[in-house]
Amino acid sequence: MADSKFRFIDILYLLAIIGADIFIFIILGVLQMDYDDNWDISKGEYGSLNSMNHIQIVFYFVLQFWNLINIIGIIFLGRHIFKRICRSK
């Protein structure tokens, strides 16, 4: 049987990482709200890059980059869990 011991500090690290990730999503979401508040139909279609100013475009791409980092992290976590499950059989 595989060694599946979880230390208390490991659980705290995992909770801290999840908390920091959620905190960053909240901050980026609040920064994106500027676009929602100031969007004008005369500047272009909602959600298009033409209707955003430079700061809003930066926040948009940072949010998309953070989503990509989270997807990669979920893939690595899933791979790690899959390897542990296969090793225990």
The 3-state secondary structure of 20-51, one letter per residue: HHHHHHHHHHHHHHHHHHHCCHHHCCCCCHHH
On the question of pLDDT at 4 being above 80, the answer is no
Q: Is residue 51 part of a domain?
A: yes
On the question of pLDDT at 2 being above 90, the answer is no
Q: Is residue 2 part of a domain?
A: no
Q: What angle do CA 52, 54, 59 make, to 5 degrees?
A: 80
pLDDT band at 88 (very low <50, low <70, confident <90, very high): confident
Q: What angle do CA 44, 46, 47 make, to 5 degrees?
A: 110
Q: Is residue 39 part of a domain?
A: yes
Q: Is residue 1 part of a domain?
A: no
What pLDDT is recorded for position 1?
45
Q: Is residue 36 part of a domain?
A: yes
| Full domain range(s) for residue 39 | 8-88
Average model confidence (pLDDT) for the chain?
89
Q: Is residue 18 part of a domain?
A: yes
Q: Is residue 3 part of a domain?
A: no
Number of domains in the chain: 1
Q: Is residue 64 part of a domain?
A: yes
Percent of the chain at pLDDT > 70 equals 93
In what helix (H) or strand (E) does residue 2 lie, and over which residues does it extend? none
How does pLDDT run across 19-62, given as a tens digit for each residue? Answer: 999 999 999 999 999 898 888 888 889 988 889 999 999 999 99
Give me the residue label for tokens 């490991």: 10
